[in-house]
Structure 1
């Protein structure tokens, strides 16, 4: 298991960032390497992003040595989304089977987690978000069929999409973590349009189900001075509370969204008019 640390930045800081610096601070590119568990710890609301792709062997983690606690989840909760083939997640001896687009909520206090693929030919790709938690809640598997879908957008504006809530008060409770998956309708390219800010919550995006040659142009920064990242399949973007987040793809794609902050009010947002973007 590896743990990289990112310290975040203020809106004024990124005015001087070149492409390399912007990518190094906000883009996570190494989530899914074969037979590896990789985590990134960010001081932006102390979110941890993780990725694991067990191919030839099962992979175990759970130590908190990198964050100063006995276990990784001594004071944290965790969401695990399977973006690949079928696999298993074993939490302190209890086995959960995750099909593609199933999500597992792991509550505070879990000690050892082991992930495995059912087939090396179609390995599971486990994407993880972990945030500090102040309550103990039971582990829970949320199959795709039990998520809550919302139909959003308009095909005429190329932003028609289906948002599926998984770890959310209306589906599966948590302390502060929110997590779900959004799919764009055929022919649509824009996500999270129109853009918005949510000052009381940060967010992370993991883009997936993309062709190797495609990219998402992810827009970030303050509305009056935007920046962009070119994002490939299986890469994730950190979005601080002060930043807009929206993107357009060169081909079909989906993304996992994860949030944490002061509340779990999904609609606690400040819309930004497109005419105000610069």
Structure 2
């Protein structure tokens, strides 16, 4: 398990590109027949990627985090960003189509993921956060998510945000998770930019051409930085950082959040004129 320690905004002022990427970017999440986890000290979020191709993959040990099981005191969201697959939790199987998300409640012991086809493997993206309450496992199909239409075509930021793990759809302890799609011709996400002091966030960009990139902006509003994001990369956004971006072609992203509350609108907007 890779460990990321985060950074203060004062430290980030002196980061070069390589150090900025190593602190906030998680690349190569999806390797064939492997499970990759990154543990971040930013609100103790664990990000994971698994792409079973020729065989199923099983995980669940908590040895690396000092607990009997990975989810002894945690909950998890698993989003399928690839072909049809299954997630089996302690013997109970759930079938996930592309863009379905599975909520896994605290206390799960053994998780096995598999793809229906090696030619179109599933790509399971995972967010796990500490949990202080028990909620049942639940599969949230794409059609069950709550959509919100945001932005304007004339400002190139028209998009549809779909809430999956959210109090209005599927309750959890502290994890929020969903998927945002840009409308055709729009490139900007998360407008207006904002920070949320009481919650951190992580993005995983997907459905991108290999030749395209998203320019992800982060940092304090008065001193921004940028990261170039490829298909399947994930990026951390601490509470003090803005998080917005523009793509060179079509893209979507999974957003996950945790912190003090689950109030989606608990944000502090930042005027574009204030960004530097």
TM range (shorter): over 0.9
SS in 2 for 1:170: coil
Write the deviation string for residues 238-266 of structure 1: whole angstroms up to 9, x where unpaired: 00000000000000000000000000000
SS in 2 for 1:256: strand
Map 1:166-245 onto structure 2 (within 5 A).
166-245=164-243
Q: Distance in 2 between matches of 1:70 and 1:33?
A: 26
Write the deviation string for residues 12-52 of structure 1: whole angstroms up to 9, x where unpaired: 00000000000000000021000000000000000000000
Map 1:59-208 onto structure 2 (within 5 A).
59-208=57-206
Write the deviation string for residues 106-153 of structure 1: whole angstroms up to 9, x where unpaired: 000000000000000000000000000000110000000000000000
Residue 219 of structure 1 deviates from its aligned partner by 0.1
> Cα RMSD (Å) of the superposition?
0.2
Tell me how many residue pairs correspond in the alignment.
Answer: 276
Query: Which residue of the other structure, out of 39, 42, 57, is the alignment partner of 1:41?
Result: 39
Q: Distance in 2 between matches of 1:198 and 1:154?
A: 23
Show the counterpart of 1:15: 13
Residue 209 of structure 1 deviates from its aligned partner by 0.1
Q: Distance in 1 between matches of 2:210 and 2:33?
A: 21
- TM-score computed with the length of structure 1 as normaliser: 0.99
Show the counterpart of 2:52: 54
Residue 196 of structure 1 deviates from its aligned partner by 0.3
Q: Distance in 1 between matches of 2:13 and 2:221?
A: 13
Greater than 4 Å deviation, 4+ residue runs: none
- TM-score computed with the length of structure 2 as normaliser: 1.00
Structure 1 residue ranges without an equivalent (≥5):
none
SS in 1 for 2:61: coil
Structure 2 residue ranges without an equivalent (≥5):
none
Q: Distance in 2 between matches of 1:197 and 1:6?
A: 21
Q: Distance in 2 between matches of 1:235 and 1:195?
A: 21
Q: Distance in 1 between matches of 2:109 and 2:28?
A: 25
Q: Distance in 1 between matches of 2:252 and 2:10?
A: 31
Q: Distance in 1 between matches of 2:192 and 2:145?
A: 24
SS in 1 for 2:185: coil
Show the counterpart of 2:247: 249
